[in-house]
Structure 1
Amino acid sequence: MRKIILDLAVSLDGFIEGPNKEIDWCIMDDDMNFEGFLSSIDTIFYGRVSYDAWGNYQPEEGAGSSEIRFWNSIHSRKKYVFSSQERKDDRATFINTDMAEKVLEIKRAPGKDIWLYGGAGLIKRFIQASLIDVYRISFHPVVLGSGKPLFEDLQNRISLRLIGTNVFRSGVVQLVYEPDNTSGNKL
């Protein structure tokens, strides 16, 4: 079965965006091999707000060829948007009912792994429904002091098992975890 991978940048103090929704602190180094991650997925899950902001983002005029290739690669994936709004969109499938059931259908379908892009509300719902198979959290060397936290209002403790660590030139440290189902999680 395909895996749902939460791949996310986080400040050292646990925020996924600053107090004004800024993400200018996120670092993308070539040694992070994000293209390798993209080649391992063929589907992206978005919340509506994240999709509206990034789901069809186009680089500014004059952007470099690597940035254009990066966004073209992202946009070539199948996109699902979880939203309470019903909406028609030629570039994405909107899901507004039976989230867990639909996610399991998608996971059972043939294909590569699935990137849980976010936002925070969708991530929280996936955590509460125990739908995340891999947590790839990249801690960036910046302390924001405030903003939108990654883990907020969780109902239960989540036990994770470390399966990988990557350290990059920029000082970003990526920790890769799987849920530890042997520790009595109550999810």
Structure 2
Amino acid sequence: MKKVILDLATTLDGFIEGPNGEIDWCIMDDDMDFDGFLSNIDTIFYGRVSYDAWGNYQPDDNATPEEQNLWKAVHSKNKFVFSSQNREDENAVFINTDLPTKVSEIKNQEGKDIWLYGGASLIKTFIQHNLIDVYRVSVHPIALGDGKPLFEDLKERLPLKLIKTNVFKSGVVQLIYEPVK
């Protein structure tokens, strides 16, 4: 069965974006092997706002070949957008009903794992329904003091078991957890 992997960046003080949606603090080190992560997934789950911002993003002509290849790899994946809107989109399937059942159906398909891209409200919904199999949280060496928190409005504790830790040359520390069942 496929796993749903939440892979995201957070600040040391727990924010996934600044107060104005900024993510300019995110570091992409070459030793992070993001290409390796992308090669192990074939599906991306988006919320509508995140999909509208990044689901069809194209780097400009001045982007490095590495950045262009990264986005080409991202756009080669199957994309599902969880939204109250029912939109037609040639690049994604929009899902607006029965999220847990639809996620289960997708997880039971043949193939590689699933990247839960976000945004924050979709992550919160997946947490509430216990739909995340792996938490890959990359803690960046910066504190913002304000912004969108990763774990917003948790209704109960979320016990996790640390599986692996990776430390990168920039000082980013990646913590990989599985939920305690």
Match of 2:178 in 1: 178
Q: Match of 1:122? A: 122
Write the distance in 1 (CA, Å) between the matches of 2:57 and 2:137.
Answer: 23
User: Which deviations, in whole Å up to 9, do the C-alpha atoms of 1:72-117 show, x marking residues without a partner?
Assistant: 0000000000000110000000000010000000000001000000
* 1:18 pairs with 2:15: no
Relative to the length of structure 2, the TM-score reads: 0.99
**Structure 2 spans left out of the alignment, 5+ residues:** none
1:21-75 superposed Cα distances (whole Å, 9 cap, x missing partner): 0000000000000000000000000000000000000001221111100000000
SS class of match (1:166): strand
Q: Which amino acid is the alignment partner of residue 176 of structure 2?
A: V
Provide the C-alpha distance between the structure 1 equivalents of 2:73 and 2:120, rounded to a whole number of angstroms. Answer: 23
Residue 2 of structure 1 pairs with residue 6 of structure 2: no
1:64 equivalent to 2:64? Answer yes
Q: 2:3 and 2:17 mapped to 1: Cα distance? A: 25
Distance 2:139 2:65 in 1: 27
Computed over aligned residues only, the root mean square deviation of the Cα atoms, in angstroms, reads: 0.4
Question: Aligned residue for 2:96?
Answer: 96
2:60 partner SS: coil
Q: One-letter code of the match for 1:178? A: E
Per the alignment, residue 38 of structure 2 pairs with 38
**Equivalent position of 1:132 in the other structure:** 132
Amino acid at match of 2:41: I
Distance (whole Å) between structure 2 residues aligned to residue 115 and residue 107 of structure 1? 11
Q: SS at the partner of 2:31?
A: helix
The TM-score normalised by the length of structure 1 is: 0.96
For 1:184, the equivalent position in structure 2 comes to none
Structure 1's unaligned 5+ residue stretches are: 182-187
Which aligned runs of 4 or more in structure 1 are off by greater than 3 angstroms? Answer: none
Q: What SS does the aligned partner of 1:7 have?
A: strand
Q: What is the number of equivalent residue pairs in this alignment?
A: 181
CA drift at 1:123: 0.1
Q: Which residue of 2 is the match for residue 146 of structure 1?
A: 146
% same residue = 70
1:166 corresponds in structure 2 to 166
CA distance in 1, matches of 2:163, 2:63: 36
